[in-house]
Amino acid sequence: MTEAAPAARGFWADAWRRLRRNKAAMVAATLILLITLLAFIGPSLSPHAFDAIDWDHMAVPPGAPNDHWLGTDRLGRDLYVRTLAGVQISLQIGLLATLVSLFIGVLWGATAGYLGGRIDNLMMRVVDILYSLPYIFIVIILSTLFERGNIYVLFLAIGAVGWLTMARIVRGQTLSIKRKEFIEAALASGVGTPGILLRHIVPNVVGPVIIYATLTIPQMILFESFLSFLGLGVQEPQASLGSLINEGAQEMESAVWMLLVPAGFLVTLLMCFNFLGDGLRDALDPRDR
């Protein structure tokens, strides 16, 4: 946006400075970056494939004198490669579902808030009804809709119902800015409703949207792991953090590393995204400290 006033640039520069001063958020962001790099590059450093069975090394613990750096599972598959494959799936799905929910939620909330009146009532009523049902029910109903294993389609659908909170946040923001002078000015210069929504309302709700999106990613990662843990998500031989934790939990009496390795990665990722989200909130919304 070329016409952005200096004050607007100042806001983002300020936010960036505040974020950089937040140690927890910066450590979290660095860790997320490192884990992402590891997840996409790491598997090619190991001589093993994620589904290759090593008959000579079954259920060996990490650190044993062989090239399975984090040990193997009951079937002799390399846990380092499988866990990183799981992280890959988690990150991709977290991002995909968040983007979908972002898209729908922002448009829905902005439209409802801007148009107001009966349309607003109807649109928010839909949100209320979907809200009243535990989210996981919708997810489980949806999981019956798709061939099991096609996790990407499933998460497109989960993102498509995960937009409720986003819609509420955006609607609230829209209500507060739609009476401002610049909207009036746009109206007076003949901009149509879609133009006002996309060019004037949506750019002005970016702050809260970024914050909430950062907090949505770990939720979506958690949902994927949750579904895979229950056997409704990623199917064998594909690995996901959830399915690995499930396998690990069954073997924990004899092979505790099979639980601890994927659980460690999942917990680290979730904590990092939460800290980053909190940091962004403090940086972008200094009133709410």
Cα angle for residues 213, 89, 30 (degrees, 5° grid): 55
With respect to another protein, which residue has the nearer C-beta, 12 or 131?
131
Convert 74-92 to b/e letters by CB count within 10 Å (16 or more is b). Answer: eebbbbbbbbbbbbbbbbb
Whole-angstrom Cα distance, residue 211 to residue 89?
Answer: 23
List all residues 6 or more positions away from 63 whose beta carbon is below 8 Å from its beta carbon.
71
Q: How far is the CB of 192 from another protein (least distance, A)?
A: 33
Does position 226 bind another protein by CB under 8 A? yes
Q: How far is the CB of 27 from another protein (least distance, A)?
A: 14
Does position 229 bind another protein by CB under 8 A? yes
Q: Which of 158, 222, 234, 284 binds another protein (CB under 8 A)?
A: 222
Does position 166 bind another protein by CB under 8 A? no
Does position 37 bind another protein by CB under 8 A? no
Burial of 129 (0-12, 13-18, 19+ CB in 10 A): exposed
**Residue 59 falls in which region: left (phi positive, over 0), alpha (psi -120 to 50) or beta:** left
Site string for another protein, 110-149 (x = CB under 8 A): -------------------x--xxxxxx--xxxxxxxxx-
C-alpha dihedral (279, 280, 283, 285), degrees to nearest 10: -120
Does position 53 bind another protein by CB under 8 A? no
Task: Give the number of other Cβ atoms within 10 Å of residue 131's Cβ.
Answer: 14
Between helix 241-250 and helix 206-230 the angle, nearest 10°, is: 40
Residues in the interface with another protein (CB under 8 A) total 39
Stretch 232-271 residues interacting with another protein (CB under 8 A): 232, 242, 245-246, 248-249, 252-253, 256, 259, 263, 266-267, 270-271
Contacts to another protein by CB under 8 A = 129, 132-137, 140-148, 218, 222, 225-226, 229-232, 242, 245-246, 248-249, 252-253, 256, 259, 263, 266-267, 270-271, 274
